[in-house]
Amino acid sequence: FRGQKDVHLDKNYFLSHAQKARSETFINLREVSTRFKLPPGEYLIVPSTFEPHKNGDFCVRVFSEKQSEM
């Protein structure tokens, strides 16, 4: 999907690709912060609301020890 815009990933994508990391217990907080150590690669960050089918506004910040492209 590199370089593509407006790509829709359906249920089958998530069923066939394993999670590499996730936040701890899923609770209704304004802010969730977690640290992961991942090998170099391409990753998909999926923000979500506590309750399903709700719209939300998200601010996602990613910090890296080395230069990376997003």
6-30 pLDDT, tens digit each: 888 888 988 998 888 887 777 777 7
Q: Where are the domains of the chain?
A: 1-70
The secondary structure element, H or E, covering residue 15 is helix 11-16
pTM for the full predicted model: 0.65
Kindly indicate the confidence band of residue 65, based on its pLDDT and cuts at 50, 70 and 90.
Answer: confident
Average of per-residue pLDDT across 53-69:
87
Cβ atoms of 31 and 40 within 8 Å: the answer is no
Tokens 């890296």 -> residue: 64
